[in-house]
Structure 1
Amino acid sequence: MMYMSGFGSPIKKKLKAEINVVPLIDVMLVLLIVFMIAAPMMNQGIKVELPKAAADPVETKEDEPITVSIKKDGTFYIGVGGDPEKPRPLAEIKSLVSKILAEKPNTPVFVQGDKSVEYGAVVALMGELKMAGAPSVGLITEPTR
């Protein structure tokens, strides 16, 4: 067998039976970065930091947030402590919230208001929740399309 000058004998390479994990690591890092950027954007609403206060406990379900709603006519509703469809005075809502927060201080508090409700009613409610001891209040909104 003759070989031309400059060319050696043909060498056969042995195949490796290994998985190349470098592309997998690259894909996982890209997904990690995407989720780290997207996660904070998934929260709807605005959080307001408020001071704490003490009160007597009230029975609620575990990890259930407190949602206080305001209808167009200015009536207030609370989702705990009885019938959620019954309008409640602001003083009763303050009392219920302070009792719940005295027992479970990390319970989230949310305000859900009709879009045509007066701004003063929302401010009054948030002031009462502040005095009731809510550490923070979230405003529930609908996402835009």
Structure 2
Amino acid sequence: MSVRSRRARRRKLKNEINVVPYIDVMLVLLIIFMVTAPLMNLGVDVQLPESNAKSIQEKKDPVLVQVDAAGNYSLIVASGSNEAVDSATLTAKIRALVANNPDIAIFVAADGAGTYQHVMDAMALLQNAGVERVGLMSDPRQDGPR
């Protein structure tokens, strides 16, 4: 009888969950995701076609942000006069316009001789002002598609 009582003590059931296999699976998944994350393509390089695009017909007059070759900003609201503004004033005025009408059309017209950085800075200012969609303006090509 003493032999049986010793075996009963050794095989006493535990009321704990064994989490070691779950930790092993989690670590394997973590390693898999860490290895595959850099391989995912976040963007694709494309060569955009050149063509004469049709103009957008808007019911209301859009807000036009002009950027000259030196990177200075000017603002035209509702076919009004061309008003030179600095970046802080531009952000404040656009934020007020977007607060009144979230669906307002805002276009950026930049000088062709200016740098791409000036256009990106203007778009960043507009994004900080709460604008979700920005259109870029261009002149139609005179000689047709290439």
TM-score range, shorter chain: 0.5 to 0.7
Q: For 2:136, which of 100, 120, 139 is the aligned residue?
A: 139
Query: Normalising by structure 1, what TM-score?
Result: 0.54
Counterpart for residue 31 of structure 2 = none
Cα distance in structure 2, aligned partners of 1:85 and 1:105:
23
Q: Per-residue deviation at 1:84?
A: 3.6
How many matched pairs? 87
Q: Per-residue deviation at 1:121?
A: 1.0
Q: Per-residue deviation at 1:73?
A: 2.0
1:31-46 to structure 2, matched below 5 A, reads 41-43=53-55
Q: For 1:79, which of 69, 76, 79 is the aligned residue?
A: 76
Measured at CA, do residues 84 and 90 of structure 1 come closer, stay the same or move farther in structure 2, by a change above 3 Å?
A: farther
Cα distance in structure 2, aligned partners of 1:67 and 1:78:
6
Asked if residue 91 in structure 1 is aligned to residue 81 in structure 2, the reply is no
Counterpart for residue 66 of structure 2 = 69
Q: What amino acid is aligned across from residue 143 of structure 1 in structure 2?
A: P
In structure 2, the gaps of 5 or more residues are 1-52
Q: What amino acid is aligned across from residue 100 of structure 1 in structure 2?
A: L
Asked if residue 129 in structure 1 is aligned to residue 126 in structure 2, the reply is yes
Q: Per-residue deviation at 1:87?
A: 1.9
Cα distance in structure 2, aligned partners of 1:118 and 1:104:
31
Cα distance in structure 2, aligned partners of 1:77 and 1:85:
6
Greater percentage in helix: 2
3-state SS in 1 of match to 2:61? coil
Cα distance in structure 2, aligned partners of 1:85 and 1:106:
22
3-state SS in 2 of match to 1:110? strand
| Aligned sequence identity (%) | 23
With a CA cutoff of 8 Å and minimum separation of 6, indicate the structure with the bigger relative contact order: 1
3-state SS in 2 of match to 1:68? strand
Show CA shifts across 1:45-93 (max 9, x none).
xxxxxxxxxxxxxxxxx92211000112221000029x74342101111
| Alignment root-mean-square deviation, CA | 2.1
| Cα pair 1:77 1:84 within 8 Å, conserved | no
In structure 1, the gaps of 5 or more residues are 1-40, 45-61
3-state SS in 1 of match to 2:90? helix
Cα distance in structure 1, aligned partners of 2:62 and 2:83:
18
